Structures are given as structure tokens and as C-alpha cells.
Amino acid sequence: MSTYSSEKPIGIYYEHPEWFKPLFAELDRRGIAYEKIDAAHHMFDPSEEESRYSLVVNRMSSSAYLRDHGQGIFHTAGFMTHLERLGVRVINGTVASSIETNKARQLSLLTQLGLKYPKSRVVNHVSRIPDAAAELQFPLVVKVNIGGSGAGIIRFDTPEGLQQAVEAGSIDLGIDQTALVQEFVAPRGGHITRVETLDGKFLYAMKVFTTGESFNLCPAEICQIPDEITEGDFCLTEAPKKGIQVEATTPPAEVIEAVERLVAAAKIDVGGIEYLVDDRNGDVLFYDINALSNFVADAVNVVGFDPYARFVDYLEQELAKKSESQLATQEA
């Protein structure tokens, strides 16, 4: 087990070049020692018995492959396992990361917790997509298992359009060649809801409204071209920057309770859960679990406070717990 020292920096393991500048700024403002760890160009010694970090914040992005950093996704599993073996406190550790990077696991977890989601099938070859679609209702979407930022989502409105795409070889199942075939669900009120959590508790929520054109929100996208392949490429947290209507909201108590159960089961220390209300029957359907949470842009104006300040409060609390635990061990 590693020996904790207050002199050790926090390790911020991240890949996206822009998303975490507010986090770094808040850490700098408070004078907290930290080290940036480039998740896209990384190495570690698996034989070491002590870490150089007091704790590590795992901010690896599932959309890294869109920036030619897909190798970082798979490398992260080994590095986080190594850190946990050394007794390092990892924010969003191996369990959270395994859920973040596998939509099939997400659906299994939702099933385990008795939470509803759009009817789905999981395939590992394009040839099985028509078979999966035959058990579902159109329109439907094909979603790569490792996505992120709305990437790798394709909507089909008819069996003929889907079959044509399969025969043309125009469907890519992504970097692990696994995908969900999932029924499209029109969201009630024209919006989905993203709930952010911190330390297992509700932090804030926001409604994100669709434009009514060719805009994707995971299964809640709206597309006006029946048989044309339409791919998603949008990150919900950037909605204000894109001119998309967002507004703060407080979900019903039972939804907040479900979200908190979900992040507890997934061991997500900080992350977002997305859901919609099925316009056909009013069912609450969960459809995405995000262990990467870069918070909404312009948060102070959208939700009324700076979530990065709350996040750094949390990191300081975790450091204090580590210090107290180490002190108690030394005194025992």
C-alpha cells in the first residue's frame, strides 16, 4: 500500500485539451498542488509500490477516439487498476470507468436496478443489426458501445433504409465493434434532462431542448430525413455555446432517488445521467450514464453556481479524509 503524504500532488488524468481548464483554474486559485497527466500519451511502471499522487481524478473521455486518442480508453483500465492496487484514492475508478465506456453494461445495470430504458438489443456484427431490428419498432437508432459526445449514433426510419445501409457497408460499430440497436423515443416537451451528481448526490439538472431539425441527443434526436443516415456529434454540456436552449430544472424526487441509486451502483463519484420522458406513455427512460462530467458551459448563468468550485471542495474533502485515515493508522 502506498504511503500518503500531503506533499504529493493531485493527479488530473485527462485527455480533452479544453474541457478542464475551469478545473485547473480553480485548483490554481486555491493553491492546490496538482499535476496534469496526459491520458493520450501515457506510461506507468506496474512494478512500483508507491504512487507519486495523493489522489487521482480520472477524466478520461469515451469520445477520445474522435481525436485519434482511442488507445487512451483501453490504457486507462490498466492504469486505474494499478493505482487502486497501490491504495490510491481514484475519483471515478475502475468500476465507474468500465460503465462509462460500455453502453451494454449500462443497460445491464439499469435492468439490475429496475430502471426503464428504450427497448434495445446488443450486437457485435453489422450482419446482426437487421435481426435485432426485427424485434424492435421503427424508427430506431444504432449506437456504438463506446461513444461520447453523441458520436456514433445513426437513426433509421424504415427497415428498407436500414437494410440498404447494411448492404452498403456504411455502418461502423466503433472501436470495439459492438453496438446497441435501440428504439427511437420522442421526448415529451421536446427536451431531455441531464442530471449531474457529485459525491453520489444530486448537484443540478438541466433541460436541453431539441431544435426540431437534424439535431441529436442520443436516442432523443429529431431527424426530418426518413432514410438518410444521420450521425450525432454533439456534447450536451456545450449546449449553451451552440445556441441550444437549456434551462435549470429540478427533477421529481423519485427520479433524483433513482439517479443517486444508479451512480452509487456504478461507483461514480462525479458524473451525469441523462433521461427523457416518453411522449407516448409518460415513462421515464434513462439512456446514458456519464462518468465523465465536464459540467455545463456558462454554469453560473444556467444553474446559478460554479460546479467546478463544488468539485474542488469535494477533492479537498477527499484529501482531508485520506490525511485523517493515514494519521489514525500511524497512531494505532
99 Cα distance to chain centroid: 9
Q: Provide the pLDDT for residue 222.
A: 32
Pick out the chain residues at pLDDT < 70: 1-6, 148-152, 211-243, 327, 329-332
Q: In whole angstroms, what is the distance from residue 224 CA to residue 239 CA?
A: 21
Q: Provide the pLDDT for residue 114.
A: 98
The model carries a pTM of: 0.87
Residue among 90, 94, 55, 92 nearest 74 (CA): 94
Helix (H, G, I), strand (E, B) or coil at 143: strand
